[in-house]
Amino acid sequence: MRKQKSLMTRIGDAVEAAKDKTQEVGVSLMRKVEVAASSASREAGKTRTVVKRKARAASASVKRKAKAVEADAKRTMGKAKRAVKSKVKAAAAGAKRTAGKVERAMSPKKPATKRKTTAKAAVRKGVAKVKTAARKTGAALTKAVAKKPARKPAKKVAAKRRSA
């Protein structure tokens, strides 16, 4: 015949079985937590990589755009300078022509009354030319800064082709 276990032995066995079961469940939960943590870590790494890549691309795009704007500004400034220089040269040439007219008007070959009148007219005309050139220079500078790159007129190109 079989011996019956005492109540205390059965309780002890039940407690041992519960401990074993609890330990198994704890180990299982621990594994699941570790898998979830590593998965979350992996996803965070992927996200971090994507964010860094997008940030690099965005900063490169901004740098390219800044360089393009800077180049446009330099190009426009060069055009404006050239426009001003040509207008100043034109004004200087006009003033030089006017000065020549004044000198010729003041020459001793003509009578005094005619010299004075002609000289005054030449000076007035020269001053008017210089003022006009200066006004045009300011307008050209404003236009050159605001204007897109200019193209050569079609007539000049066609004329050059005919002559060649």
Q: Where are the domains of the chain?
A: 8-143
What b/e string do you get for 3-28 counting C-beta neighbours within 10 Å, with b at 16 or more? eeeeeeeeeeeeeeeeeeeeeeeeee
Using the predicted structure, report yes or no on whether residue 140 has a pLDDT greater than 70. Answer: no
pTM to 2 decimal places:
0.38
Residue 83's nearest CA partner among 136, 127, 128, 132 is 136
Provide mean pLDDT across the span 24-50.
Answer: 93
Tell me the pLDDT band of 106, cut-offs 50, 70 and 90.
confident
**pLDDT tens track for 39-88:** 999 999 999 999 999 999 999 999 999 999 999 999 999 999 999 989 88
Provide mean pLDDT across the span 155-164.
Answer: 54
DSSP letter at 1 equals -
Residue 94's nearest CA partner among 115, 118, 125, 63 is 125
Tell me the pLDDT band of 95, cut-offs 50, 70 and 90.
confident
